[in-house]
């Protein structure tokens, strides 16, 4: 384990815990941004530059902004007297159980001890060529999905014409 | 003779190299990359804030001239009688903002309020790391992802704006932040699409690679410039590059919140937008970050369309000027253009702003992308004299049609209360 | 260089933090954030397995991660639009309060 990895991993996990446990929702969203940035750092450590910067562009630049807008539009920042969580212990127990299972699986498998090969030569050009040849069907489906999602989001969030309520 | 000019051209690079070899024996091994990075960063941190300081004075003086007044002309070097025609103003402004009281509203979210200016300044400074300022002068050369890095880091400034606006607990701050985010998200799309045209034609995401593609002696099909290599092949000289540059510049002005797109900080409507509740040095940081963001956008525009550090022609007196001087000269020209625009154009309304981004800029950038592809495909079948007007017409007609739609909409303004 | 297990542990931790959040928080937006975290944990796994695979030239993990990022963006857009509509209708974003099926 190297020092940069330890720092980035600690930051990512710590901010993820903060993102899930803070009471103020805007603070949660801002911690989430830190998690996204930390994940991008991990991708850079894994020599996946393109995906790392795409992660920042999409998550920090778009998804985080969406979340923040939704928080403000639903007035979720206003203090409430009700607790922020429901029956926390069952949920946490399920999560801890899931983590223990996964950790045991990782420790038991020989894959975990694999050491990385020298950094692979990946150029954005070959990635693009792959996307336009081998993966062209998923790419087209993705384009369709994004269009459908955009139309759907606009129609769902559009105000009703009659102005009820 | 040529050697001498080349030595001046490469002076920053050789200086850094010399310093590194001098320090090489003294430094421990782990510190060397750090020192090398610090040596690359120092000129950026010295040149661009100084440029910001001078720009504030030039802007005030220029706006003064445009508005038929004189502008600042008093402050010179402190404790002397030298006035420098008012160019000492930035020193006075800096000292003023440093010693002003730092007021934080009682209701504000203290931590976020403190972090917002830092979170704004750092991404803006990071964008400079991939810009090629001169020949062999890129602080961080990312051959695969240079442009993507620029946009990814630039996109994270939106969140800092939100942090500033939300943490102030002030309705004007929040309104300004919301306006700013909506504007930046909308104008990011035409900005990236117009830059994407260049990426498509140059075939690389590396910014230094894009500059090299605009050089005279790299043979690229589809880019004009005579074959002997006297004229530079800036992308500006192609129809798609010409249109793309102006689309890029418009979107960049909106990204940097410059007039006529300065709604997020419209003084007459919402005080100062998202930094209403900031004072003293934190306010100065916002001011600095805004101008540095504008410079970075201009630098990117220069790199993409104006040939970066390349001179326009490839013969003697022009090639003697060092490459970094060409870059800084083009940058200054664009900054003056933006000051001029600020003095000339009125501010848009919010619906006009959004309509302009989605109904005019976005279709135009998409058409531009298609025209660039056509330009590339027709390179071998149609001679340049016919191809240029053809492609330009394919861009001019939609421009005219889209513009006519807007004109029809804007001229019929009803004054509901005046009538 | 960190072995693969390091990345897998981080990914597992992120997944479980997201799971715990999605199961326990009351606010619908927080549930969505938890789901985003779980998606990101899966992405980290894709990239890590790609980097440590026998032949990374095929780039399967990279392309999968790119597609997954795009899907996550679409999911966030639709999910948040739904939450805003629900808020307009019920005046709350609390998932426990939204229980009647009547329109």
Q: First vs last Cα of chain B: how many Å apart?
A: 73
Inter-chain touch A53–B162, beta carbons under 8 Å: no
pLDDT band at B296 (very low <50, low <70, confident <90, very high): very high
What value does the mean pLDDT of chain B take?
A: 82
By the 8 A CB rule, do B78 and B88 touch?
yes
Q: Which residue has the higher pLDDT, B239 or C90?
A: B239
What is the per-residue pLDDT for A164? 47
Between chains, do A19 and C15 touch, taking CB under 8 Å as contact? no
A71 and A126 inside one domain: no
pLDDT band at B295 (very low <50, low <70, confident <90, very high): very high
Asked if residues C69 and C5 have their Cβ atoms less than 8 Å apart, the reply is no
List CB contacts of B135: < 8 A, sequence separation 6 or more: B9, B10, B309, B323
CB neighbour list of residue A105: distance below 8 Å, 6 or more residues apart:
none
CB B386: neighbour CB atoms within 10 A?
11
Report the percent of chain B where pLDDT is more than 90: 12
The Cα of C102 is separated from the nearest Cα of chain A by a number of Å equal to 15
Residue B274 or residue B193, greater confidence: B193
Same domain, A122 and A72: no
pLDDT tens-digit series, residues B84-97: 777 778 888 888 88
- For residue A144, is pLDDT > 90? yes
Sign of CA dihedral B119, B125, B131, B136: negative
Residue A123 has pLDDT above 90, yes or no: no
pLDDT at B216 over 70: no
- Residue at which a domain ends, from A21, A44, A76: A76
Residues 6+ apart with CB under 8 A from B222: B201, B238, B375, B376, B379
Percent of chain B with pLDDT over 70: 91
Asked, for residue A91, whether it belongs to a domain, the answer is no
Facing C6 at nearest CB: one of A1, A86, A111: A1
Instruction: Give me the mean pLDDT over the C22-46 stretch.
Output: 88
Alpha carbon of A60: minimum distance to chain B alpha carbons (Å): 6
The CB density around residue B35, as the number of other CB atoms within 10 Å, is 15
DSSP 3-state of B257: coil
- SS3 assignment for A19-80: HHHCCCHHHHHHHHHHHHHHHHHHHHHCCCHHHHHHHHHHHHHHHHHHHHHHHHHCCCCCCC
Give me the pLDDT at residue B381, please: 80
Q: Does C98 touch chain A (CB under 8 A)?
A: no
Q: Does the structure show a pLDDT above 70 at B150?
A: yes
Question: Are A61 and B112 within 8 A, CB to CB?
Answer: no
Model confidence at A143: pLDDT above 70? yes
Q: What is the predicted ipTM?
A: 0.86
A40: CATH: 1.20.120.1200
Average pLDDT (A116-134) is 80
Identify whether residues A69 and A127 lie together within a single domain: no
In chain A, which residue's Cα lies nearest the Cα of B156? A61
Q: How far is B219 from chain A (nearest CA, A)?
A: 20
Residue ranges making up the domain that contains A164:
118-165
Is the pLDDT confidence value at A35 over 90? yes
Region A133-139: mean pLDDT is 89
Q: Are C94 and C28 in contact (CB under 8 A)?
A: yes
Provide the domain count of chain A: 2
Is the pLDDT reported for residue B223 higher than 50? no
pLDDT tens, residue by residue, B169-194:
888 888 888 888 888 888 989 999 99
Mean pLDDT of C84-89: 81
> Which band of pLDDT confidence, cut at 50, 70 and 90, is reported for residue C21?
confident
- Each residue's pLDDT tens digit, B313-340: 777 677 778 888 888 999 999 999 999 9
Top-confidence residue, A81 or A126 = A126
Residues of A with CB under 8 A from a CB of B: 26-27, 30, 33, 37, 49-50, 53-54, 56-57, 60-62, 64-65, 68-69, 72, 122-125
Q: Are residues A66 and A131 in the same domain?
A: no
> Are residues A4 and A66 both part of a single domain?
yes
pLDDT on residue B234: 82
What's residue B14's pLDDT? Answer: 81
The fraction of chain C above a pLDDT of 90, given in percent, is 13
Same domain, A12 and A69: yes
At CA C70, angle to CA C68 and CA C72, rounded to 5?
70
For residues A40-58, give the mean pLDDT: 89
Partners for C (CB, 8 Å, 3+ pairs)?
A: A
Among residues B198, B209, B214, B201, the alpha carbon closest in space to that of B307 is found at B214
Q: What are phi and psi of A66, to 5 degrees?
A: -60, -45
- The whole-angstrom separation of Cα B285 and Cα B117 is 6
The pLDDT assigned to C40 comes to 92
Q: Which residues, 6 or more positions from B168, have their beta carbon under 8 angstroms from its beta carbon?
A: B105, B108, B113, B174, B274, B276, B277, B278
Higher pLDDT, A105 or A160: A105
Can you name the CATH fold of C4-90? Helix Hairpins (1.10.287)
Looking at every residue in chain C, the average pLDDT score rounds to 84
Of A64, A77, A85, the C-alpha closest to A24 is A77
Q: How many CB pairs under 8 A join A and B?
A: 60
C25 three-class SS: strand
Task: Please state the rounded mean pLDDT for residues A82-93.
Answer: 73
Last residue of a domain, one of A13, A43, A76: A76
Nearest-Cα distance to chain B for A114, in Å, is: 27
């Amino acid at each position: 384990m190297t020092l940069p990895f330890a720092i980035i991993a600690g930051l990512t996990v710590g901010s993820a815990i903060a993102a899930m446990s803070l009471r103020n929702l805007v603070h949660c969203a801002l911690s989430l941004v830190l998690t996204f940035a930390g994940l991008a750092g991990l991708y850079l450590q894994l020599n996946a530059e393109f995906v790392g910067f795409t992660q920042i562009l999409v998550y920090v630049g778009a998804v985080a902004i969406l979340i923040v807008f939704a928080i403000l539009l639903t007035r979720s920042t206003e203090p409430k007297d009700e607790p922020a969580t429901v029956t926390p212990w069952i949920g946490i127990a399920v999560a801890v159980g899931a983590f223990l299972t996964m950790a045991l699986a990782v420790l038991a498998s020989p894959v975990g001890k694999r050491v990385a090969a020298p950094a692979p030569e990946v150029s954005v050009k070959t990635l693009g060529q792959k996307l336009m040849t081998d993966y062209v069907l998923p790419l087209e489906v993705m384009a369709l999905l994004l269009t459908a999602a955009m139309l759907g989001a606009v129609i769902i969030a559009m105000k009703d014409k009659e102005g009820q309520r | 003779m040529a050697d001498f000019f080349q030595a001046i051209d490469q002076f920053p690079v050789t200086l850094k190299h010399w310093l590194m070899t001098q320090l090489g024996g003294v430094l421990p091994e782990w510190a060397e990359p750090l020192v090398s990075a610090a040596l690359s960063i120092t000129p950026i941190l010295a040149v661009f804030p100084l440029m910001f300081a001078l720009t504030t004075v030039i802007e005030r003086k220029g706006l003064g001239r445009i508005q038929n007044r004189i502008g600042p002309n008093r402050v010179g070097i402190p404790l002397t009688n030298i006035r420098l025609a008012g160019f000492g103003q930035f020193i006075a402004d800096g000292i003023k903002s440093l010693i002003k009281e730092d007021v934080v509203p009682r209701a504000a979210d203290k931590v976020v309020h403190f972090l917002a200016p830092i979170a704004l300044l750092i991404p803006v400074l990071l964008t400079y790391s991939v810009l090629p300022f001169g020949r062999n002068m890129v602080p961080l050369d990312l051959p695969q992802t240079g442009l993507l890095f620029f946009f990814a880091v630039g996109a994270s400034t939106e969140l800092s704006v939100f942090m500033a606006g939300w943490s102030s607990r002030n309705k004007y701050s929040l309104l300004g932040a919301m306006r700013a985010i909506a504007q930046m998200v909308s104008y990011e799309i035409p900005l990236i699409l117009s830059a994407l045209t260049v990426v498509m034609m140059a075939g690389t995401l590396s910014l230094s690679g894009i500059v090299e593609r605009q050089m005279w002696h790299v043979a690229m099909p589809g880019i004009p410039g005579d074959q002997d290599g006297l004229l530079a092949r800036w992308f500006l000289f192609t129809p798609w590059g010409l249109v793309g540059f102006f689309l890029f510049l418009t979107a960049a002005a909106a990204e940097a919140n410059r007039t006529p797109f300065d709604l997020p900080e419209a003084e007459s409507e919402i005080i100062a937008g998202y930094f209403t509740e900031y004072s003293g040095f934190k306010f100065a940081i916002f001011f600095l970050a805004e101008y540095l963001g504008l410079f970075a956008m201009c630098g990117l525009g220069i790199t993409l369309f104006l040939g970066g550090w390349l001179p326009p022609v490839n013969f003697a007196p022009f090639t003697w000027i060092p490459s970094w001087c060409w870059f800084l000269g083009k940058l200054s020209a664009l900054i003056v253009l933006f000051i001029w625009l600020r003095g000339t154009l009125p501010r848009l309304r919010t619906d006009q702003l959004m309509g302009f981004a989605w109904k005019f800029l976005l279709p135009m950038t998409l058409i531009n992308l298609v025209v660039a592809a056509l330009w590339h495909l027709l390179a071998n079948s149609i001679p340049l004299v016919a191809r240029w007007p053809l492609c330009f017409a394919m861009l001019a007609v939609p421009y005219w049609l889209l513009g006519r739609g807007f004109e029809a909409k804007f001229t019929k303004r009803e004054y509901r209360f005046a009538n | 260089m960190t072995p693969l297990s390091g990345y897998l542990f981080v990914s597992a931790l992120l997944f479980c933090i997201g799971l715990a959040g999605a199961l326990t928080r009351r606010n619908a937006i927080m549930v969505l954030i938890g789901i985003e975290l779980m998606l990101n944990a899966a992405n980290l796994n894709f990239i890590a397995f790609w980097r440590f695979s026998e032949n990374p030239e095929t780039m399967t993990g990279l392309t999968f991660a790119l597609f997954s990022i795009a899907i996550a963006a679409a999911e966030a857009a639709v999910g948040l639009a739904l939450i805003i509509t629900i808020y307009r209708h019920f005046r709350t974003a609390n998932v426990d309060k939204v229980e009647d099926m009547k329109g």
